[in-house]
Amino acid sequence: MSLPDLTAYVAHRSTPDAAFEGTSVPGLRADFYRRVDGDRIASVGRYSYRGRDVLMAWGYVDERHCRRHAVHDPARGWQPVVDGCPDVRFVRAGDDPDAPVIGLRVRTPEGDWLNPA
């Protein structure tokens, strides 16, 4: 299985300092793409952090969660496609769970945590 070919999609919207799963992350940019697929609309979210690719997640707009995703490792490039949503942890400005979010970490298919900062 491979990454979606974004040339087959139309840019839908871009969001700087985007929210991931409802939590805003300064420096995270989300670019969303869509295309008609029969009677459904396929959607891809491409996320970058401070200009570096972090992950892509895709599925259909009528689905509640991601169908598949892939993580970008700066040292090794795009990692294998995985079913479901990515495993993401937020980095906070302190140990307090209510401290402001200042970044994020993403788990690779091998279980390593990437800190794209």
Q: Render pLDDT for 35-88 as a digit per residue (tens, 0 to 9).
A: 999 999 999 999 999 899 999 999 999 998 999 999 999 999 999 999 999 999
What is d(CA 41, CA 39) in angstroms, rounded to the nearest whole number? 7
Largest Cα separation within the chain, whole Å, is 48
Q: Evaluate if residue 6 carries a pLDDT over 90.
A: yes
Mean pLDDT of 95-109: 92
What is d(CA 2, CA 22) in angstroms, rounded to the nearest whole number? 27
